[in-house]
Amino acid sequence: MRVNSGSLLMLSLLNRSARAAFTFSSSSSSSKWAVIGDVSRSTNRVVSSHVGDGRLFKVKERLCRWNRPLSMSAVAVEEETAMELPTNENDENLLKIRHTSAHVMAMAVQQVFKEAQVTIGPWIDNGFYYDFYFPETTRVDEETGEEIVVSARKLTDADLKKVKKAMDKIISKNYPILREEISREEAKKRIIEINEPFKLEILDSIKTEPITVYHIGDQWWDLCAGPHVESTGQLPKKGIQLQNVAGAYWRGDENREMLQRIYATAWNSPVELKAYKKRMEEAKKRDHRVLGKKLDLFSIQEDAGGGLV
C-alpha cells in the first residue's frame, strides 16, 4: 500500500513501553497503515520499520525520508523535548510567576544571609535573576574579644540549596502579595530604616509618583511596578529551579560594587520545567564547540595564539 501526498504521520509513545506505533492516514481516503517497531528502552530507538514513497515528512521538527529505514533517533524523541513552551509574551500568568519568584528568592536570601542587600530582580526569557550585594562583616573573637573582619560571602551551590529550601517554606506559608502606593518621602524613609542603599538609588531613578511597593505578607517588601500573583502559594515549588551564580557590576559600572547574581528558571508546572531542562540538554549536545572536539573537526592550538584553532 502507498500513501498519497496528503498523508500525515503520527507518533505515539505508549507509556514509555518498548513498542512504538506509527499510523499513516490519508486525507483523501479512509485507508490507514500502521507499522509497529521494537523500541530500545535506553536509547529510544526503533530497531525495525520501513516505509516507501520517497517524499519528505517532518517529525518532531526533524526531516526524514520515506524511501529509507526510519532513524528513530530522529523520531522517537521524548515528548517533552517537542513541547511548545509558553513565553512571557503569550502567558501573563507565567510572567507573574517569574516576577513573584524573584521577590520570594530575594526574601529567602535575606532570611538565610542576614547581611545580604538587594538591588534589582527582573524576569527574563526563561526565568528571572536577582542581584545581591554582600558586604564585609565583623565578628568578635571568643578568645581575645577582638573584632575580626570577615570577607564578603561568595555564594556556592550549597548556598543555593539553602535558599531554595527557604523559598519553598515561603511558598508553603501562602503569604498574600499586596500592592501599596506611597509617597516618595515615605519610600525613602522606609528604605533608610532597613539600610538598603541600592534601593535609594533605584528610588531616585523612578520619575513617576506615587511610588508602588509590593509586600509579601508583612514579612518583606520591594519597590516594584508589578505584576504579581495573588499569593506565594500560587507559585509551583517544583516548577522553579535555581541555576547558578554570576558576577555583575552595579549599574554595569566596573567602578561600582561587584554584585552576585542568582539566575533561576521558573515555569507553570514541573512538566514544563522538565521539558525546558530536556531542551537545554539537547541543545548542549548539539553545541558546535562540543561536537567539534568530539568529532575531531578542530583542535585548539595553544601556540597559535588566542582565538585561533
pTM of the full predicted structure?
0.68
The closest of 46, 47, 20 to 34, measured between CA atoms, is 20
Look at residue 105 in the predicted model and tell me its pLDDT. 98
How close are the terminal C-alpha atoms of the chain, in Å? 52
Which ranges of 60-183 would DSSP assign to H, the alpha helix? 79-82, 92-112, 157-173
Q: How far is CA 45 from the centre of its chain?
A: 29
Residue 73 has which C-alpha cell? 533517533
Look at residue 146 in the predicted model and tell me its pLDDT. 82
Look at residue 290 in the predicted model and tell me its pLDDT. 59
- Would you write out the chain's pLDDT as a tens digit for each of its 309 residues? 444 444 334 333 333 333 343 433 334 333 333 333 333 333 333 333 333 333 333 343 333 333 444 444 444 444 545 678 999 999 999 999 999 999 999 999 999 999 999 999 999 999 999 999 999 887 887 778 788 888 889 999 999 999 999 999 999 999 999 999 999 999 999 999 999 999 999 999 999 999 999 999 999 999 999 999 999 999 999 999 999 999 999 999 999 999 999 999 999 999 999 999 999 988 777 765 655 666 666 666 666 555 555
Look at residue 144 in the predicted model and tell me its pLDDT. 81
Q: Which residues have C-beta within 8 Å of that of residue 166, sequence separation ≥ 6?
A: 108, 109, 111, 112
CB atoms within 10 A of CB 263: 17
Strand-pairing partners, residue 59, are: 62
CA distances from 117 to 91, 109, 112, 261 (A): 31, 9, 12, 12
Look at residue 80 in the predicted model and tell me its pLDDT. 47
Asked if 105 and 130 count as a contact pair (C-beta separation under 8 A), the reply is yes
Reduced to 3 states, what is the DSSP secondary structure of residue 80? helix
